[in-house]
Amino acid sequence: MVRLIALACGAALLAGALTGCLQQNAGVSDSQKANRTYMTQVNQAMEDLNSRLQSFDDAVSRGDAVTMRTQADNAYEAIDALSAIDTPEAMKGLQQNYVDGCTALKEALSAYVDLYTEVESATEEHPFDYGTYDERIKAIQDKYNEGIQKLKDADAEAVKLNDGDGSEAQSSDQK
C-alpha cells in the first residue's frame, strides 16, 4: 500500500507540474483556455485523490478495516469527481485515460479492503484460506499497477499536448 501512495503522489505531482506549465498567455484561444481549465481541474482532482489515499494508507497502517472502507469510499468520491469534469472535445481521449487509470485504482482499493476484511473476520469455524492470499495480493497489485500506468500514460499525453500548445490535441483526437 505504501507503493500505492507513493505512485499516486507521483501522478499528482506530475499533474501539478502540468498545471504549472499551462500558464495563461495573452491572446490564447478559447479552446486553449478550455484545455487549461480542464488540466487545472484534473490537477485538483488528482491532488484530492492523493490526499484521500494518504488517509486510506493511514487506516491500513493501523489495521482498521472500518476506517479503510470509509477512506476508500472517500477516494472513490474523488475518482467520481474526476470522471465528472467537463472535458473539452480535444481532451476527451486524455480524460478517458485518467478515468480508466482511476477506475483501476478504485478496483484495486476495493479488492484490498475486501481481502483485509475477510482476513480480519475469519474465525476458527470459518478460517481464511491463506493458500490464496499471495495470489489475491498479486492480482490486487497488478490492478493497481495497471491504474498507475494508465495515469502515467495520461500524464505523458498531457505533456505532449501541452508541448504542442493544444494543436496536437486536435490531431490526436481525430486519429
Q: Could you report how far apart the first and last alpha carbons of the chain are, in Å?
A: 37
Does 137 or 10 have the greater pLDDT score?
Answer: 137
CA–CA separation, 21 vs 40, rounded Å? Answer: 11
Judge contact between 53 and 30, C-beta under 8 A: no
Binned at pLDDT 50, 70 and 90, residue 140 comes out as very high
pLDDT of residue 97: 92
Task: Give the per-residue pLDDT at 115.
Answer: 93
From the list 6, 46, 39, the residue with the least C-alpha distance to 21 is 39
In the predicted structure, residue 172 carries a pLDDT above the cut 50: no
C-alpha cell at 130: 491463506
What digits encode the pLDDT tens for the residues 35-77?
889 999 999 998 998 899 899 889 888 888 889 999 999 999 9
Find where cell 483556455 sits: 33
Residue 170 is predicted with a pLDDT of: 39
- pLDDT class of 168 with cuts at 50, 70, 90: very low
Minimal CA–CA distance to 93: which of 8, 9, 153, 47? 153
CA count, 13 A, side-chain hemisphere, 20:
6
- Over residues 158-164, mean pLDDT: 78
- At residue 3, the pLDDT reads 54
Q: SS3 of 173, please?
A: helix
Check: CB of residue 117 under 8 Å from CB of residue 170. no
